[in-house]
A and B are shown apart, each in its own frame.
Chain A
Amino acid sequence: MSDIESGGGGGAHKGKKKGKKMSTRVDFTPMVDLGFLLITFFMLTTSMNKPQTMEINMPVKDKNLTEDQQTKVKASQTLTVLLTKENKVVYYFVDEKTGEPGLTTVTDYGKDGIRKVLLQENKIRNASVDSIGIYKGQLQTNKITEEDFRAKVYAIKSFKDGLIVIIKADDNSRYGNLVDILDEMNICNIGRYAIVDITPIDLALLSKTTL
């Protein structure tokens, strides 16, 4: 017990009648308890980390845009991803000859699921996609600057014949599914993707596919 001795020495000067020397020892143990209680309160009611965000840019939905002004994409460059219930993902490519949706495949959000397909397709169409990883390593060892890295990545991602992903979600999917698929876009370095409304054709396709 810590103690502050004050007045214990002064008492010696007093008359001999007051013989009892009361030493003033203050016990600081409760002070420590109080201190730790306050620490615990602050640890539980405050938070140090700021929440992380994902930046989303949606295309401008101007009703006055004519058909010509809306961006058109070549159907053969696209991979359509449908998000549905129970965390399932259905994807298809548009058949080159008929322009109709091709074979549908069911997968999920794991490493071997949609990510494998995205990485594969992206690599086939855009051979320089692997160099993004190399550039990132260079950025971390400070061999290239941040703006340089961004410019290089932008150049690779906006490659004209690269993969374009169209994301459609039906009413049975969850918000977590949407965030997962957008996350996959970032992980696989897909340059162009869009979130659009699901069409009746897609809904019919979904009802026909066995999940």
Chain B
Amino acid sequence: MSKVKVPRKSTVVDMTAMTDVAFLLLTFFMLATKFKPDEPVTVTTPSSISEIKLPETDILLLTIDKDSRVFFAMDGEANRLELLDKMATKYQLTFNDKQKKEFSLLSSFGVPVKNLGQYLDLDSEGRKKFAQTGIPSDSTNNELADWVLQARFTNKALRVAVKGDQNAGFPVVKQVIATLQDKKVDRFNFITSLEKAEN
């Protein structure tokens, strides 16, 4: 038993600096990042050595998942409203105001036009459960061609990007490319992940 008492030092640590660091990091993340758009499906894109970045605005995104379903996404709320109106007149459907508002906020969808109204009426939970069959692009019923054409009318500077899953079957990709060529879209982009070329 030591008779000499070890002088006790105070265990108080000043946390002010730590909070400053934490909030600095938080500010960085809030300013430098963008929210990931929630998509109905997660797609693993193939890799390529291409380092060209996708532009942020005026993009028409066609997502093809591994079950060969095609999803459509266009940015610009006002453009989406206009697009819905045009498609409604083309297919002789009517959408009420609530559905139109939902559509303008929707990021990505993949349902045939006749099911679109029903899909828009669901809330986010219901939408996740809804089995989206993809936008038809076969020769008998090529709704994709109409969506692309009307989208290009609403926004002349639109660029088309295709985000396909690595294991998506080739026939649907061929169909999508043929549809795009048919609608005079000859320049488009494939979205890929970065890969280093082993030389």
Contact = CB atoms under 8 A, between A and B. Distances in A.
Measured as residues with beta carbon below 8 angstroms from the partner, the interface class of chain A is 35 or more
Interface string A149-182: 0000000000000000000011111111111101
27 contacts: A2-B13, A2-B19, A28-B18, A32-B19, A35-B19, A35-B22, A42-B30, A46-B35, A48-B32, A50-B54, A52-B52, A53-B52, A53-B161, A54-B190, A54-B192, A55-B50, A55-B189, A58-B177, A60-B186, A169-B174, A174-B167, A175-B164, A176-B165, A177-B170, A178-B170, A178-B173, A187-B197
Given A53-B192, A57-B186, A175 B22 contact: no
B127 to A, nearest CB: 19
A45 B35 contact: yes
B190 A46 contact: no
Q: Is the interface of A mostly helix, strand, loop or mixed?
A: mixed
B33 A47 contact: yes
B11 to A, nearest CB: 9
Contacts of B194: 52
Contact of A47 (B23, B36, B170, B189): B36
A57 B187 CA distance: 5
Contact of B167 (A45, A60, A175): A175
Contacts of A38: 26
